[in-house]
Structure 1
Amino acid sequence: MTDLEAPATPSRLQDALDAADLVAPASLFPCLGRVLPAVAGAIGVLDVPDADLSQKTLGLPDASRVCVVLVDGLGHANLAERAGHAPFLRRRLADSSPLTSTFPSTTATAMGTFGVALPPGRTGMLGYTVRDPATGELGNLVSWTGLPPAREWQRETTVFERLVAAGTSVTSIGPARFAGSGLTEAALRGPAYTSAESLAARVDATLDALRRPGVAYLYWGDVDKAGHRHGWGSWQWGDALAELDAELGRLARSLPRDTVLVITADHGMVDVDRTLRWDAATHPVLGDGVALVAGEPRALHLHLEPGVDASTVADRWRDVLGDAAVVATRTEAADDDWFGEISAHVLPVIGDVVVAMTGRATVVDSRTQTPASLDIVGVHGSLTRLEMLVPCLVVA
């Protein structure tokens, strides 16, 4: 079994996931962390771990150039339901198989596994917010605030670093503010970085990079933004998808010969049900014994006060949330490989209790979340199929 595979033996926790129709990482489909090793295999860089296996698993043909597009928030099931807005993607969806995201199914965690090809237990990228064991304070893995330098937090070698070391030309195309950012340094360090703001400009920059053999990586975040603000069922999300589809179609038509295009995402999305929302800051039972809530409203890490028993807190949360959540102690979640292999320095980043929400329910913490974040419509982080399954579309 590799770091990117799920355990084969069912457990009590797995039974709870099955009852709630939740998808454990790498259980039904290959993990998102297979993508870049598969790209390495396609261009013949086989000293990247699992390159050959990943290439065969994802079905990438050999090529001199590979273009990888990662669309933030474009879940496989979200895309399938709204595919009327995306004729280019729709034509390729039927013959494809999805990948599974990480737990939590959130950008920082998924990008860590995407970029490093190791599970969150190795990267330390364990949620939107995390507790820094050195300070006991809450840090943000997206804005990279309240945390040590990115290379100290995420210590593993990225796939892009391995490709560059092997002599491959690798270009990353994204907004200027992401160049050298904490999240970029943690998960995607290594390539030359080209700044471009609009999607059309990023497509143009990608095509320019692919004039020479190698790898180009393009990131687009506006589908996720539309989902957060308006919900993935909104007309705004449909418009964002339509814009994406048109530019991806142009990209595909303009690629040089002997180029493989891979389109994927970091996670999907559900729209919240505000009648199924609890506030850990004000609820007398949920807050009892909890010193700090990290993660996000769909996937929570509960760090407990000294001397408080994790099993007792987990039972309390189960009693309050009922079938709106699957609640596990750190030991249970680790034993079931929710985070894959766990490095010693990462273990204390995981909550003493871990909570995966079901359906459209959330648990917020008004002590640490901004009013704007409490108003978000589209959310992600948990293990539902909408959140966990992401597309893997190969155009060759």
Structure 2
Amino acid sequence: MSILKPNYNDSIVNVSNSILKRFNVKNYHSTIKELDTILLNHKKVVLILLDGMGANIINHHLQDNDFLKKNMFKTITSVFPPTTVAATNSVLRAKVPYETGYVGWVQYFEQEDIHNIVFMNRDFYNDKKIVPNDLTEQYLKQPDIFDLLKEINPEMSINKIFPSFIEEGFETFDEQLVHLKTITDKNETSFSYVYWVEPDLTEHVQGIKSEQTKNMLRSLNNSLTNYAKSLDDDTVVVVIADHGLTDVEEINLMDFKDITSTLKRLPSIEPRATAFDIKNGLEGEFKDAFNKHFSGKYQLFTKSEFKESGLIGIGKKHPYLDSFLGDYMALAIDKYMFKLNDHKTYKSHHAGLLKDEMEVPLVIYTKKQ
């Protein structure tokens, strides 16, 4: 299995910082120089994020002359963990997870004693548990790129195009592109962000090499091909993903009583980037048991080792980061994922250190040469 760590000089975070720079907003991190040059020549900038569209599935399922593969400028990395909560919030804030505090699907909020599903605001292990308020709003709120762009460019058209789980969102990707076309048809300076849930949903259920994943990717590719035909010379379209996926085998962590007996509380964050809080005095017992069972499958870090590794970046540390990370972090370095509850099974997943999870495309399309 090939390991790939995030490169915070050539990542999805740097794409966002290039967009900030294009519209004269002070960037938090370095930009991608080649992208800077292209953006500067266009007044209408579109950023499309297709969930789970790793470079691996583009290379596996698409032909060289297909839109997404033909216009893949290069590959870049996601953030760590390469998962939607961490990655999309890094894109939307132009910051790394170390700064945003968004690190995974399930984050333990010790002030509330809740394993919060970040995007759903409910407890992961106990759906009857009352979540008193919007925890992301209370603990993780911070300016996003839309706020930053609007502050410096109050007259600019700034657009967020989301699926239907967001108010005024859209049911299909094609509907999103129809709406996007009404924006890019106008002769005005604009920034538009489009987020769509596929091919991630299909990959999770069917696997990365499945015919269903191939068909979904080809459908997205064809939709983008048709949209691109309508563009004028003043529009540039950038397509990225939040992460890739890799096919997995599940391990029921709760079967390992020599590990679970040492835990202060149930694990959190992700099945392939898992946080553990340990009972006082049992750290050595936990570490020995974990490595006995999972050495070669997961790499175990103390919290301080994990932060010092630079995997979640550097900068101004989010005030709640330490509490989210637990005492130990276990990072997947093979095909396995922990099954943390019995709610779902998966053929593919993400958030570990494999290249397939970390490497994403930087697709750039413009008619202007």
- The question of a shared fold, defined as TM-score above 0.5 by the shorter chain, is answered with yes
Structure 1 pair 78/314, CA: closer, same or farther in 2 (3 Å)? Answer: farther
Name the residue aligned to 1:151: 137
1:39–1:60: 8 Å Cα contact kept in structure 2? Answer: no
Paired with 2:303 and 2:213, the residues of 1 have a C-alpha distance of 36
Give the paired residue count. Answer: 348
Structure 1 pair 202/40, CA: closer, same or farther in 2 (3 Å)? Answer: same
Name the residue aligned to 1:235: 211
Name the residue aligned to 2:4: 23
Residue of 134, 139, 148 corresponding to 1:162: 148
Report whether the alignment pairs 1:226 with 2:202. yes
Q: CA deviation at 1:59?
A: 4.6
Name the residue aligned to 1:270: 246
Structure 2 unmatched ranges of 5 or more: 124-130
Residue of 34, 39, 44 corresponding to 1:65: 44
Name the residue aligned to 1:6: none
Residues 81-113 of structure 1: per-residue CA shift (max 9 Å, x gap): 2223981112123xx222211222110111111
Give me the CA root mean square deviation.
2.0
Name the residue aligned to 1:77: 56
Q: CA deviation at 1:123?
A: 1.3
1:48–1:162: 8 Å Cα contact kept in structure 2? Answer: no
Paired with 1:131 and 1:46, the residues of 2 have a C-alpha distance of 33
Q: Secondary structure at the match of 1:178?
A: coil
Report whether the alignment pairs 1:38 with 2:24. no
Q: CA deviation at 1:60?
A: 4.5
Paired with 1:165 and 1:327, the residues of 2 have a C-alpha distance of 43
Q: CA deviation at 1:159?
A: 1.3
Name the residue aligned to 2:236: 260
Paired with 2:288 and 2:148, the residues of 1 have a C-alpha distance of 44
Q: Secondary structure at the match of 1:54?
A: coil
Residue of 255, 268, 289 corresponding to 1:282: 255
Normalising by structure 2, we get a TM-score of: 0.88
Q: CA deviation at 1:48?
A: 4.0
Identity %: 20
Residue of 275, 278, 299 corresponding to 1:304: 278
Structure 1 pair 86/231, CA: closer, same or farther in 2 (3 Å)? Answer: farther
Q: CA deviation at 1:208?
A: 1.0
Q: Secondary structure at the match of 1:268?
A: coil
Residues 116-157 of structure 1: per-residue CA shift (max 9 Å, x gap): 111112211111101012123210012232464433222332
Paired with 1:33 and 1:309, the residues of 2 have a C-alpha distance of 38
Report whether the alignment pairs 1:104 with 2:77. no
Paired with 1:231 and 1:259, the residues of 2 have a C-alpha distance of 35
* Equivalent AA in structure 2 for residue 128 of structure 1: W
* Equivalent AA in structure 1 for residue 11 of structure 2: C
Q: CA deviation at 1:315?
A: 3.6
1:85–1:242: 8 Å Cα contact kept in structure 2? Answer: no
Q: How does 1:348-387 map to 2 (within 5 A)?
A: 348-366=323-341, 369-370=342-343, 373=344, 375-387=345-357
Q: Secondary structure at the match of 2:165?
A: helix
Q: Secondary structure at the match of 1:386?
A: helix
Paired with 1:286 and 1:85, the residues of 2 have a C-alpha distance of 48
* Equivalent AA in structure 1 for residue 117 of structure 2: N
Structure 1 unmatched ranges of 5 or more: 1-19, 180-193
Q: CA deviation at 1:285?
A: 2.4
Q: CA deviation at 1:251?
A: 1.7
Paired with 2:25 and 2:273, the residues of 1 have a C-alpha distance of 35
* Equivalent AA in structure 1 for residue 4 of structure 2: V
Paired with 1:320 and 1:240, the residues of 2 have a C-alpha distance of 37
Structure 1 pair 172/57, CA: closer, same or farther in 2 (3 Å)? Answer: same
Name the residue aligned to 1:331: 304
1:33–1:117: 8 Å Cα contact kept in structure 2? Answer: yes
Normalising by structure 1, we get a TM-score of: 0.82
